[in-house]
Amino acid sequence: MIIYNVTINIDTSVHDNWLTWLKTDHIPKVLATGHFSEAKLTRVLVTEDMGGITYSVQYRAHSRDALERYYKHDADKLQMEGHKKFADKMLAFRTELEVIEEFQVAPK
């Protein structure tokens, strides 16, 4: 299983507008591509020297092939929407994570 992780630092001057857009527009559009089974939005609990607030969105891809199809057909368009809307107020980088194994606490 592959996790497509997007880490974003957002300037506080546009934070509230960006967070609303992310939750109500962007994440639903990414999920609507059909390449992912879920998304988790988290706040990074580290103070950045550059300021702003940092978040991570983790999209769980159906497969490596699904992620490649997302890159080929959808990623550029969806990323450009954010860049057009928030320009230099947003800095993002992406990483791919391979899930090796998942562990859970056993019921007592």
**Is 75 inside a domain boundary?**
yes
Q: What is the pLDDT of residue 108?
A: 86
> What backbone torsions phi and psi does residue 50 show, to the nearest 5 degrees?
-80, -5
Domain ranges, residue 89: 2-98
The tally of domains found in the chain comes to 1
pTM over 0.75: yes
DSSP state of 87: G
**Is 106 inside a domain boundary?**
no
Q: What is the CATH number of the domain that holds 35?
A: 3.30.70.100
**Is 56 inside a domain boundary?**
yes
Mean pLDDT of the residues in the chain: 95
Stretches in the chain below the pLDDT threshold 50: none
Secondary structure of residue 8 in the 3-state scheme: strand
